[in-house]
Amino acid sequence: MQLYDMPDVRGHFGQFGGTFVAETLVEALDELRLMYEKYRHDPVFLAEYAYDLKHFVGRPSPIYHAKRLSDKVGGAQIYLKREDLNHTGAHKINNTIGQALLAKRMGKPRVIAETGAGQHGVATATIAARMGLECVVYMGSEDIKRQAPNVFRMKLLGATVVPVESGSKTLKDALNEAMRDWVTNVHNTFYIIGTVAGPHPYPMMVRDFQAIIGIEAKQQMQEMVGRQPDAVIACVGGGSNAMGIFYPYIDVPNVRLIGVEAAGHGLETGMHAAPLTTNSPVGVLHGNRTYLMQDNDGNIIETHSVSAGLDYPGVGPEHAWLKDIKRAEYVAITDDDAMAAFHNLCRTEGIIPALESSHALAYAEKMAKTMRKDEIILVNLSGRGDKDINTVAKLANITL
Amino acid sequence: MSRIQTTFATLKQEGKTALVPYITAGDPHPNHTVNLMHTLVKFGADMIELGVPFSDPMADGPVIQRASERALKHKVGLTAVLQMVKDFRAVDQKTPIILMGYANPIEAIGAKAFADRAKAADVDGVITVDYPPEECADYVQELRSRDIDPIFLLSPTTEPSRVDLIVKQASGFVYYVSLKGVTGAANLDINEVSGRVADIRKKTNLPVGVGFGIRDAVTAKATAAIADAVVVGSRIVTTIESSTDENLLSNVAALMTELKTAVDAAKQ
């Protein structure tokens, strides 16, 4: 029996979540909410979703015992949930398939998306090509510079990539611009949000489509080691890969759930993207109420992280809730520690992780050292690092 | 009666439609805002919609986004905007001031504290773009208990059953957004707007304002013929953006004169 039953009918997780949007979008969100209610338990819909996950994405993604890394760190055994092996290279595709199937059923020929690191943009462009939908992706011009390979992939897949020049020119501004597009083209357009943020029903719907990660992990851990891990660790920007692996574990006792935010140059410098770890004030942005990095006037402040996918001033409302009810813990890892963990995994295990996932790896290493050798940490390796090679080369002074 | 109600009652007796210009507070520079407000009134504004700058103005098009960015460069936030209203009131106690902005600056100080401070600054109405009525019952209560009008938007996509819900929460007037999209977007279809305004009037006795897409004398006049208030935003902000410190007030005065003539001609 599922003991945890969130959100409420209007999308609230306690004081968090909700539907804070301009009036023009209310009807579109009502329509989406009703359609999702209709299909979320529909056997034909779920069968189509499952088929694509298996045959198009390559699920289930394996769990891998990172034995050499565990030995090197010295302490708990580190296991990796290999979302990096998914088609398109990250967990993002799980969600875009689900939402694109809904878009088809709602008769919307055009999909739009926001993207930070480009992984959600690529996953949206991919499924749009696969289903014959027009695709427009909004991306901050700063992110376009640091994630050039993903921009090229989206273009190859037939998507239009629109550079966003407003505000800080990163993920939050891309989301603003996608919202503006949606308000204008709401009659023929489905907005595929990539994270567990946005107005209801997005945080719930994206979580549900990503929950396959945790559902598989529970079964795989049981088969592989005969028990569940002592801790599950995932990185948190908006928080979709973390919600995906956490959600099926919420009701499982004695499994610690740990979300890792980006500490950037260090929490004390202010140049980070860690609203939960730093106890930022609660506010309203992008359609929901959550913890938000902001100034005294309620304006959103600029964030910093070496990984574009974590560079977001807010966090999904369900994470805010899990923090408040103390079911999950939130910590932060600096750019430098994430880079070290990145190189460590490359050299010890032959796996190039995404910079986002490297934050989760870095915390797993820290924590493993304090644990016994028979204890187990499961890390959600949410994506692969091919997209990050230019950033890493620059930071590590490697000539390509 | 609140200032907004008094203004509409007087205009109704005169057979006129209200002209409501929008400017973003602090644009192009905080030193100009109060002077700009007095200029707007002198050249025909019946009420003023004063935008509160916000870092993430999701419902606004590029023109008003840029205005917000210019104001934020000078650190103009909600506290500074309320001070501007106080300064304006030192000279003008008659013209209603309606703040327009987003939820988060209000969340940052809290609904009750905001309502207290808005009252102290003598604000008459507040439009909060991303507070739909379902999410802000307490906030509406705080405003109404201080005789500040919570003004809600209705859009072309608002279902008739929601119109009932919204007009119950609203006071002062209701604001019909004349097109799907952000501020400053394409031209409005006056026939469609006319039908929707008529539908809204069947459900409420509140005055109906119309905004979004009104960009010149022609559209202002056509809208004035069917609405109780005509809101002009992006067109005025564009004029501010393209002016110098020297010709700012005269350019805005010229535009207001043109709009006022058009609005007054509509019901003659």
Domain ranges of chain B: 3-265
State the nearest Cα–Cα gap between A313 and chain B, in angstroms: 12
B111-164 pLDDT tens trace: 999 999 999 999 999 999 999 999 999 999 999 999 999 999 999 989 999 999
A181: tokens are 């597009």
Measured torsion, CA atoms of residues A9, A14, A20, A26, in degrees rounded to the nearest 10:
0
A277-320 pLDDT tens trace: 999 999 999 999 999 999 999 999 999 999 989 999 999 999 99
Q: Which residue in the set B65, B77, B135 is minimally distant from A297, CB to CB? A: B77
Residue of B nearest to A200 (CA): B135
Q: pLDDT tens digits for chain A (400 residues)? A: 456 899 999 999 999 999 999 999 999 999 999 999 999 999 999 999 999 999 999 999 999 999 999 999 999 999 999 999 999 999 999 999 999 999 999 999 999 999 988 999 999 999 999 999 999 999 999 889 878 889 999 999 999 999 999 888 889 999 999 999 998 898 899 999 999 999 999 999 999 999 999 999 999 999 999 999 999 999 999 999 999 999 999 999 999 999 999 999 999 999 999 999 999 999 999 999 999 999 999 999 999 999 989 999 999 999 999 999 999 999 999 999 999 999 999 999 999 999 999 999 999 999 999 999 999 999 999 999 998 988 899 888 888 7
Kindly determine whether residue A298 and residue B107, on different chains, have CB atoms separated by under 8 Å: yes
Which letter does DSSP use for residue B181 in this model? Answer: S
* CATH architecture observed for domain B3-265: Alpha-Beta Barrel (3.20)
Kindly list the residues from chain A whose CB atom is less than 8 angstroms away from the CB atom of residue B59.
Answer: 22, 24, 180, 183
Q: Is A358 a catalytic residue?
A: no
B residues 63-102 lying closer than 8 A (beta carbon) to A: 65, 69, 72, 75, 77-79, 102
Kindly determine whether residue B155 and residue A287, on different chains, have CB atoms separated by under 8 Å: no
Q: Is B60 a catalytic residue?
A: yes
Task: For A281, list phi and psi in degrees, rounded to 5.
Answer: -65, 160
Kindly determine whether residue B130 and residue A22, on different chains, have CB atoms separated by under 8 Å: yes
How many residues are given for chain B?
Answer: 268
b/e string for A157-172 if b means 16 or more Cβ within 10 A?
bebebbbbebbbbbbb
Q: Is A280 a catalytic residue?
A: no
What is the ipTM score, two decimals? Answer: 0.95
Instruction: Say what the pLDDT of residue A1 is.
Output: 44
Report in angstroms the alpha-carbon separations of B257 from B43, B94, B260, B263.
Answer: 6, 20, 5, 10
